[in-house]
Structure 1
Amino acid sequence: MKDKELYKKLFTIVAPIAFQYFMASLVSASDAFMLGFLDQDSLSASSLAGQVAFVFSLFFMAFISGCNVLGAQYWGKKDHKTVDKVLALTMRYSLLVGAVFTLGALIFPQYIMRIFTNDPELVRLGGVYLRTVALSYVLAGFSQAYFGIMKICDCAGLSSLIGSLSVVFNILMNWLLIFGVGPFPEMGIAGAALATVLARAFECVFILAVMLRGKCPPLRVGMMFVLKDSILHKDYIKYTAPILLNQLGWGGGVTMYSVIMGRLGSDAVAANSIASIVRCIIASLCWGIAAGVGIVLGGMLGRNETDEAKKAGGKFVRLSLIIGAGSGVVILALTPIILKVITLNPQAQYYLKYMMFMAAYYIIGNALNSTIIGGMFPAGGDTRFGMICDIVTLWCVVVPMGMIAAFWLKLPVLAVAFILTLDEFVKIPAVYKHYVKYKWVKNITR
């Protein structure tokens, strides 16, 4: 495949996925922006409570990644019946975990908030948010699992359309419910949570509508409860379990960042939440490329095009570095604008200025590692290395260093924040060494 054809195929997949990531990240931005007009505590509380949704996303992203590993290769092999089975398995586990998170947020919201902060007001506000947003977790379990299979089955544009319309609806409902516009009640932080629930319900209804019209792969409900293909089930668990452990290890480490920052004061939490939101918005293209790379390479490997996959992998690595560097420049360019638009306490503004600089260089390492660990390795079924690499980097190096710096050495907030941005760079040598061994280049279909 020529370079032009390869990049055209990649960006045909990447564009709608990246746009969907971008639109999804705008919801967090709108929450922060609108709640920031109310008070800084509401902004900080919603940011910390949002970590529950982040932890849940680690589960469904693992299930979707396992779906991508098998689904992309079977789709490339044109075995659509097996793809239907993979969707049923993915939906089974995604809905089950979503239900667990929904019940937890309904029953124990304030206990969950105390994991992230010891500030009584943040615990109270976060508890209100979690109880209101609880239903969104099980709804997201359905919609996100379906979005995953749609991207594999040449319906990435349709999934992007549904996700983007949902984001627009979410932002509109944020405005109406947070501030009480027109006939809507003024709900503050609870309004942001309710808007999220309504947006997830909007997604589910839209997906059911297009599915019933035959615009995307069907969901075989019976297979969710009884799937006789035990070999496929074992394969799914084999490739999903390491990804899930990787996601939980990595995500748990990232959540520990919030736990550490949450005990350094509301100013640190507010600044860190804004910097993280901006980084996520700009990183949308990087994550879209990682997802697209996994689908393109998975299809190649399913067709036994191993030499072509190796060559394409090298091109994708170079592309990720270029995209990462460009994304860092964009963050630096946006920093003065964000400092003027966002209203924070003077101390929080000071923290935010330098956290934006940290986000600018962090995104370069994130672009490279997400493409290789999250896209290329799983395309060939190599899901264990990423798990080991991320868990060791975070739990044996960066999180202990961050905790020592914050609670024992009591270093300044910005010094702690700097330490917490080292994880992407610590693992680059090991990631690249594993990449050039090409153990990930293999066909895993049966």
Structure 2
Amino acid sequence: MEVYKRIIKISLPIALQQVIFTSVNFVDTLMIGALGEVAIAAVGLSNQVFFLYNLILFGLVSGGGIFFAQYWGKQEEEGLSRSVALTIISALFFSIPFFVLSFFYPNLVLNFFSPDIEVINLGAVYLKIIALSFPLFAISLVTSFMLRSIKKVHIPLIITIIELSSNIFLNYLLIFGKLGFPTLGVKGAAIATLIARLIGCISSVLIVYLRKMPGRIYFRHFREITPKFFKSYFHYAIPTMANEFAWSLGVTMYSIVYAHMGTNVIAAQRVMATIEGFATSITFSIANAASVIIGNMLGTSRYEEAYDVSKKALKLAELISIFAAIICIIITFFIVELFDVSEEVKKMVRITITISMSFLPIKLFNGMNVVGFLRAGGDTRFSFIVEGSTLWFIGVPLSAIGGLVLNLSFPVVYLLTMTEEVIKSIILYFRYKSKKWLNNVLE
């Protein structure tokens, strides 16, 4: 029972943080939806670029998170700060190409996602502005992971509330021109996002330093990054980055397929992803909590205890996923009516959400293994190989054949992509049972 309490204590604030984030995305999409399907599609495609950037960055930072959790398990604050310093440098470095492409060549970037010129031109306005927030987001993400690793999960929750409530308020002012502000539409939504991320970044850094929390960095920590530590760090971080890059690029390929199926399909996918986020945010928070707890244990070589915790976390996650899936399917039939889209788009959303939620327990099992267990133990190369191969050799080809060759409907094409999740779960089950992922990366 004690294990379940520890998991819930860490996962609940993470889940609330993600639910708030998803709620704001929902409101954001709802506000932009008032401008029509082209606006939804334009912002949706622009956010695909951010999605790609976010996941690669997530891979890098979660690679650093392996060291955060295990160093904190050993109570080595200097090692924790040194890991944070290297992660921040790396995160900012990898932000450069995304910033350059998105800020200076937004039309060229979006041209890869959609053939619709109207959508590209409107999306370029949005993408160019939010590109300025990429470095800010990198610093915020590293800080959030560090705070989770030392079990201060309530602080990222508070910062998320501040940041995203600011985003909603600024959206209201700038999209629709309220309280004397100009009516900027999609451009206003981008400016609101930029300002909100600036607020979030400054808030996270100030809290860590003013409260003198573990993990804060100074110049000496950058000097203490030895070639040996650098090599050890990237031995685990590069596969997690490659994993997220392969996965995010594959998901981006899905979006490109959907975009070529029509603007209404882009709008349906955008609305569906926003609603789906509520269920996934609650369930996948358990994977993040498990990663922290198990990482702390592996840092002190408590292997059997870590495996026992993983089994209990998996049972809890699967139970919650079933309830979350049922609730999400039910509320979708009502929520979709709030969007200013055609009946055809609403119908596609209802059907596809039902398909997605039917596979949620399988998707969560995969997420628990890749993000929660294998990554906590530094088994990052195996998870990269499994995720990359199943997505690119099964999921992407099936979506391309179904959507572009056979001209199947959006729900049917989405169903085809779930084949990848099923096969992946079988492979990960055997890896999990082998216990080869139970490693102390600091040794």
How would you bin the TM-score normalised by the shorter chain? over 0.9
Partner of 2:359: 362
2:67 is equivalent to residue 90 of structure 1: no
Deviations 1:341-398 (A, max 9, x none): 2221122122112111122113222211111111111111111111111111110011
2:56 is equivalent to residue 59 of structure 1: yes
Partner of 2:20: 23
Distance in structure 1 (CA, Å) of the matches to 2:437 and 2:289: 16
Q: How does 1:73-88 map to 2 (within 5 A)?
A: 73-88=70-85
- What SS does the aligned partner of 2:378 have? coil
The amino acid of 2:2's aligned partner reads E
Selected match of 2:110 from 108, 113, 133: 113
Partner of 1:444: 441
Distance in structure 1 (CA, Å) of the matches to 2:10 and 2:414: 34
Distance in structure 2 (CA, Å) of the matches to 1:381 and 1:66: 8
Q: How does 1:64-213 map to 2 (within 5 A)?
A: 64-213=61-210
- What SS does the aligned partner of 1:379 have? coil
TM-score normalised per structure 1: 0.96
Distance in structure 2 (CA, Å) of the matches to 1:176 and 1:317: 43
Q: 1:135 to 1:230 in 2, by over 3 A?
A: same
Selected match of 1:230 from 224, 227, 248: 227
The amino acid of 2:441's aligned partner reads I
Distance in structure 2 (CA, Å) of the matches to 1:427 and 1:160: 32
The amino acid of 2:353's aligned partner reads M
Distance in structure 1 (CA, Å) of the matches to 2:13 and 2:230: 30
2:4–2:312 CA contact under 8 A, matched in 1: no
Selected match of 1:277 from 269, 274, 279: 274
Post-superposition shift, 1:218?
A: 5.0
2:337–2:346 CA contact under 8 A, matched in 1: no
Partner of 2:390: 393
1:286–1:370 CA contact under 8 A, matched in 2: no
Distance in structure 2 (CA, Å) of the matches to 1:407 and 1:358: 20
Distance in structure 2 (CA, Å) of the matches to 1:44 and 1:372: 33
Deviations 1:160-185 (A, max 9, x none): 11122111111111111111111211
The amino acid of 1:329's aligned partner reads I
Deviations 1:95-135 (A, max 9, x none): 12223322221100001111110001100111111112111
The amino acid of 2:313's aligned partner reads F
2:332 is equivalent to residue 338 of structure 1: no
Distance in structure 1 (CA, Å) of the matches to 2:304 and 2:215: 34
2:297–2:306 CA contact under 8 A, matched in 1: yes
The amino acid of 1:232's aligned partner reads F
The amino acid of 1:71's aligned partner reads F
TM-score normalised per structure 2: 0.97
1:355–1:417 CA contact under 8 A, matched in 2: yes
Distance in structure 1 (CA, Å) of the matches to 2:302 and 2:22: 35
Distance in structure 1 (CA, Å) of the matches to 2:410 and 2:218: 50
2:5 is equivalent to residue 8 of structure 1: yes
Distance in structure 2 (CA, Å) of the matches to 1:219 and 1:236: 18
Deviations 1:139-191 (A, max 9, x none): 10111111111111232111211122111111111111111111211111111
Post-superposition shift, 1:224?
A: 7.0
Q: 1:317 to 1:212 in 2, by over 3 A?
A: closer
The amino acid of 1:27's aligned partner reads V
Structure 2 gaps of 5+ residues are none
Residue range with higher mean Cα deviation, 164-173 or 96-105: 96-105
The amino acid of 2:395's aligned partner reads V
Distance in structure 2 (CA, Å) of the matches to 1:55 and 1:422: 22
Residue range with higher mean Cα deviation, 189-198 or 59-68: 59-68
Selected match of 1:249 from 246, 249, 252: 246
The amino acid of 1:58's aligned partner reads L
The amino acid of 2:18's aligned partner reads Y
Post-superposition shift, 1:226?
A: 3.9
Residue range with higher mean Cα deviation, 138-147 or 346-355: 346-355
Deviations 1:306-351 (A, max 9, x none): 1111211111222221122111111111122123222211221221
Tell me the matched-pair count: 443
Residue range with higher mean Cα deviation, 226-235 or 74-83: 226-235
1:110–1:123 CA contact under 8 A, matched in 2: yes
Partner of 1:290: 287
- What SS does the aligned partner of 2:115 have? coil
Distance in structure 1 (CA, Å) of the matches to 2:223 and 2:256: 40
Post-superposition shift, 1:221?
A: 4.5
Distance in structure 2 (CA, Å) of the matches to 1:412 and 1:205: 45
Partner of 2:380: 383
* Aligned-residue RMSD, C-alpha: 1.5
Q: 1:422 to 1:327 in 2, by over 3 A?
A: farther
1:89–1:223 CA contact under 8 A, matched in 2: no
Deviations 1:35-71 (A, max 9, x none): 1111111011101110111011112211221122111
Percent of paired sites with the same residue: 28
Partner of 1:216: 213
Distance in structure 2 (CA, Å) of the matches to 1:194 and 1:105: 15
Residue range with higher mean Cα deviation, 190-199 or 300-309: 300-309
Selected match of 1:402 from 392, 399, 422: 399
The amino acid of 1:151's aligned partner reads R
Structure 1 gaps of 5+ residues are none
Residue range with higher mean Cα deviation, 141-150 or 417-426: 417-426
Post-superposition shift, 1:203?
A: 0.9
Deviations 1:392-434 (A, max 9, x none): 1110011011111122222233321221333322211101011
Q: 1:103 to 1:5 in 2, by over 3 A?
A: same
